């Protein structure tokens, strides 16, 4: 049996899952496989990038790749001043189904907000999957599992709840470095710009010569900030 794997932003490849994360990753794999059965446009497999930062946002989703990697934070804060707690199985399965609905409409152009806005096309696709969808802050973005979908995915919810009950995050160093970071384009040799981390992560910066986006050179990012960089924003040296 192939060992469970997760994406490593440091090694830029998949690595074997640490033992403490294995039950959660196994439950995530099973939940996604069950959701993928709902529509053939949903990829059968995705990669996981377990992070202490934010999970993949709707604006960061990219389906035009051989391997989709989803950033996922297994914890949440009930409010701004509280300590983080583990997410529930229902919360994670709802998020996975939400992400899957984006895969169904991946060929549709975003309706605005750099992909954050959820238009009626997304709403209809999400409802076809069995999600209850209402108006939210970014269009049709208030999403819950519908009754029939909740029943169908209940074993996955229970499996994730069980895995998360025993899961504890690995405690890393405190983040105390904001940059600057280096970004490089596809020119030969690549042109380089240096900018604070917040600006580097804010959105696309395009080279006026090669017309490619500047990507973040991970070697200039402190180790305690590397989980903040989405895989699609990483610069890879040309061989």
Name the pLDDT band for 173 (thresholds 50, 70, 90). Answer: very low
Higher pLDDT, 62 or 227: 227
The 3-state secondary structure of the chain reads: CCCCEEEECCCCEEEECCCCCHHHHHHHHHHHHHHHCCCCCCCCCCEEEECCCCCCCHHHCCCCCCCCEEEECCEECCCCCCCCEECCHHHHHHHHHHHHHHHHCCCCCCCCHHHCCECHHHHHHHHHHCEEEEEECCEEEEEEECHHHHHHCHHHHHHHHHHHHCCCCCCCCCCCCCCCEEEECCCCCCCEEEECHHHHHHCCCECCCCCCECEECHHHCCHHHHHHCCHHHECCCCC
Of residues 4 and 143, more confidence is placed in 143
* Residue 103 near residue 41 (C-beta atoms within 8 A): yes
* pLDDT at residue 40, as a whole number: 94
- Over 50: is that where the pLDDT of 44 sits? yes
Across 97-101, 170-174, 189-193, least confident range:
170-174
Per-residue pLDDT, averaged over 227-236, amounts to: 82
Q: Across residues 155-183, what is the average pLDDT?
A: 78
Q: With a threshold of 0.75, does the pTM exceed it?
A: no
| Distance from C-alpha of 226 to C-alpha of 22, rounded to nearest angstrom | 21
Residue bearing the bigger pLDDT, 69 or 156: 156
What ranges do the domains of the chain cover? 5-165, 181-233
What per-residue confidence (pLDDT) applies to 176? Answer: 42
The mean pLDDT of 67-71, rounded to a whole number, is 81
User: Is residue 201's pLDDT more than 90?
Assistant: no
pLDDT recorded at residue 112: 47
Q: Is the pLDDT assigned to residue 127 strictly greater than 90?
A: yes
**pLDDT given at position 59:** 59
The reported pLDDT for the residue numbered 113 is 46
Which range, of 92-96, 151-155, 185-189, 193-197, averages the lowest pLDDT?
193-197
End-to-end Cα, the chain, rounded Å = 33
- Answer yes or no: is pLDDT of 221 > 70: yes
């Amino acid at each position: 049996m192939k060992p469970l794997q997760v994406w490593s932003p440091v090694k830029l490849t998949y690595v074997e899952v640490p033992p403490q994360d294995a039950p959660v990753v196994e439950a995530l794999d099973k939940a996604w496989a069950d959701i993928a059965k709902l529509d053939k446009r949903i990829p059968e497999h995705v990669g996981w990038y377990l992070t202490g930062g934010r999970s993949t946002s709707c604006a960061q989703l990219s389906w035009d790749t051989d391997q989709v990697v989803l950033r996922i934070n297994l914890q949440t804060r009930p409010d701004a001043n509280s300590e983080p707690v583990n997410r529930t199985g229902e919360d994670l399965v709802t998020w996975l189904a939400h992400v899957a609905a984006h895969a169904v409409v991946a060929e549709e152009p975003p309706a605005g907000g750099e992909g954050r806005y959820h238009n009626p096309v997304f709403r209809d696709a999400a409802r076809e999957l069995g999600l209850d969808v209402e108006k939210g802050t970014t269009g049709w973005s208030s999403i819950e599992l519908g009754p029939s979908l909740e029943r169908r995915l209940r074993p996955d919810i229970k499996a994730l709840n069980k895995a998360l009950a025993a899961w504890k995050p690995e405690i890393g160093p405190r983040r105390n470095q904001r940059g600057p970071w280096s970004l490089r384009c596809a020119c030969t040799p690549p042109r380089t710009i240096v900018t604070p981390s917040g600006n580097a992560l804010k959105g696309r910066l395009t080279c006026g010569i090669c017309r490619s986006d500047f990507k973040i050179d991970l070697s200039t990012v402190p180790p305690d900030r590397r989980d903040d960089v989405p895989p699609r924003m990483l610069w890879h040296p040309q061989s």
